[in-house]
Chains A and B, each alone.
Chain A
Amino acid sequence: MNVKHHTLKRPAVRITLLISGVMLTLVLLLINLMVGSVDISLPQLLNNLTGLEPADTTIVAILFKFRLPQAITALVAGAGLSVAGLMMQSLFRNPLADPSILGISSGASLGVALLILGAGAGSGTAFLTSGILGDLTVTIAALAGAILVMMVIIVFARTIQSHSNLLILGIMVGYITFSAVGILKYYSPREALQRFVIWGLGSFGEVSQSRLGLFVLLTTIGLAASFLLSKTLNLMLLGEHYAQNLGLNIRRARLFIILISGFLTAVITAYCGPVAFLGLAVPHLTRNLFQTSSHQLLLPASALLGGILALLCNLAARLPVFNGTLPISAVTALIGAPVVIWLIFKGNK
């Protein structure tokens, strides 16, 4: 029995980790601003950011219109998805749960599919690039689809007691939307299909500077709300009987958890498309790193770690080696899965 007695060390270790995390975030943020198809050196970066010297307008534009919004989107989305995933894992006491488990991101997919694919098949014009509302229509369609599914799940959650039944329901909803999307894909012209497929792989670069503010605001609201649920989530971890005996209103707790997690997932999927893997892996990484089950620590730590991982993936996806920007969902799993595998083997000793 290998018991670690970090009685005095543990809080110190955790604080160190947190501080390192914040610093790593800043470093990654800077690197993300410097690396890309056009290399910007650190002095160049600082000059252009602070506007000290007459700046190269192209570089300023690249920084403020492309890289900064993308980096901040990645940071915020990574934090939000990780927290949403943690909440799902604690609610269902299932280490394989992730934000998409209740079918909410599938709902977003369906919304976008109906817009990009369905409009093409139905009327005479495929909405490759849409009209007045432009890219906003994709966001709105995704949000509408996600919220619709979330409402269905919440209605179910009120009447269905068993957690596993609720899980199965969510998975079924996911499959229904998956099939619907498949049918839509089959009847679509190639260009619409291409656009939908690319959307489906996720991107941190589609949130323009003017829309960034709203995205960050919404996600921050979701994160703040989740931090308020620390005690509730701690109690849920004990199991429903103990939680109820300790005074928790299980029904209401479940509802709030699903609502806030669903809100985060819906918003992030609407702005970034479905981003895989972060919501599943980051809570595990966080638990492993901080060696705790206490949500007062896990929630903010997951947000921090999620942001770091997302920034890392964003960097990898944008390496000049790839001519374009790799879709983000392809990168998150490639980078994240080996880390999780390493952790499993490390803990196996």
Chain B
Amino acid sequence: MKNLFLPLFLLLVLTSCDRTSVSTHDNLEVKQEFARWFTIEKKDSLTLITVRNPFDTIQPSARLLLYPRQSNPPRGFEEYTAVPVPLQRISCTSSTAITFAGKCGHIDAVVSVSDANFVFNKTIKSRLVSGDVTEVAQGTEIWYEKLSQSAPEAIFVSMFDGQELDRIRDLGIIVIPFADYLETTPLGRAEWLKFMGAFFDEGEKTSRLFDTIVSQYQEIASLAKNANEHPAIFDGLPIEGSWYVSGGQSYMATMYRDAGASYIWAGEQGAASNVMAYEKVFAGAAETPWWRMVVNIPGTLTKEKLLAMDERYGLFKAVKTGGVIWSNAATIPLFEEGVAEPHLVLSDLVCYLHPTLLPGYKPRYYFRLDR
């Protein structure tokens, strides 16, 4: 023991030279149970985050080194981008990032966003009006001057590559890829809460929040699993004759399974959506009792409006028997907020598919079309 004292002391002294603050965590390994596209490792007061690249299996899209902002950026991590945390000013071109920032309790950190017209978050909307938050991008176009003026420390983007990102880095803004949408499971997407939490030093809070979500989700899923029937369901809507349906290994396919439904194309490949001829969809789904769709219209979806879009929708059994579950991208924040509340989204589906399981539950994201 005595012989070890000096080397241990020296080790402590030597290693403490690089750190000016005392570590607050002891080597907490943040395990991602569901998310596959990011990993978090903790090294004392440092957090190392890797975001995988969907186009490159070897080179990750980002390696981020989060360090306490009062200290100096640590040396010895050349491949990593240093990020001082907690972040105080962020820009979000990913709308889900806004929601996650809010769940972390740091909505005030958001200084600029993209596509102001499509933002649902009430705080951000009012701040857009007052000018405290600025719009710095629209569609595929980023306005670099405005972005620079909004002076964020980092930007959460939903793309991975390209000259646009380099130009942003040239402005001195840290680029953080926010790849929640690549996750093929609802819990995997929600787990990005912890990703966001790391940047605000809210690791504990977000872990707890996520654990709650997981347990609630799994409880409902297990209820649904044990239901007597697993009704058949399909989804999608045609664009000019070609129908985009959820792939067999997609986010929605997982959710259908967890909701105790039988997705008719669960056997098809695809982690996102597949193109299918209208005719083929009709042949397969004409007798399917449930149809989940997301429209984009002003106001509420009614049967008249649906049939006005295409009279052939009336041929589907789901439409005839009141089995259409719909959401509206224009008026309901299904994508923006639902990603952080998969247990609620799941509950919405379950309360229609298995009416007796969740008595008194009021759906928020999905509605049922009248007969």
Report A's interface with B, CB cutoff 8 A: 36-38, 57-58, 61-62, 65-67, 121, 123-136, 186-191, 193-195, 198-199, 203, 205-206, 208-210, 273, 318, 320, 322-325, 327
Contacts and interface: CB of A to CB of B under 8 A. Distances in A.
Contact of A131 (B138, B282, B299): B299
5 contacts: A36-B280, A65-B315, A124-B118, A318-B277, A323-B280
A129 B279 contact: no
B78 interface: no
Contacts of B308: 131-136
Contacts of B117: 123-124
Given A187-B138, A209-B311, A131 B305 contact: yes
Contact of A128 (B115, B279, B295, B304): B295
B286 interface: yes
Given A129-B237, A203-B241, A208 B310 contact: yes
A37 B283 contact: yes
A17 B152 CA distance: 72
Interface size class of B (residues with CB under 8 A): 35 or more
Chain B facing A: main interface SS = mixed
Nearest to A327: B240
A210 to B, nearest CB: 6
Contact of B298 (A131, A135, A210): A131
A206 B280 CA distance: 16
A148 to B, nearest CB: 23
Closest 3 CB pairs of A and B: A37-B280, A134-B308, A128-B296
B297 A129 contact: yes
B286 to A, nearest CB: 5
B242 interface: yes
Contacts of A61: 282, 286, 312, 315
A58 B316 CA distance: 10
B330 A186 contact: no
Contacts of A66: 278-279, 282, 312
A48 to B, nearest CB: 14
Contacts of A125: 296-298, 330
Interface in B126-156: 138-141
A35 B297 CA distance: 35
Identify which of B243, B279, B282, B310 gathers the most chain A CB atoms within 10 Å of its CB.
B279
Contacts of A132: 304-305, 308
B13 interface: no
A256 B83 CA distance: 70
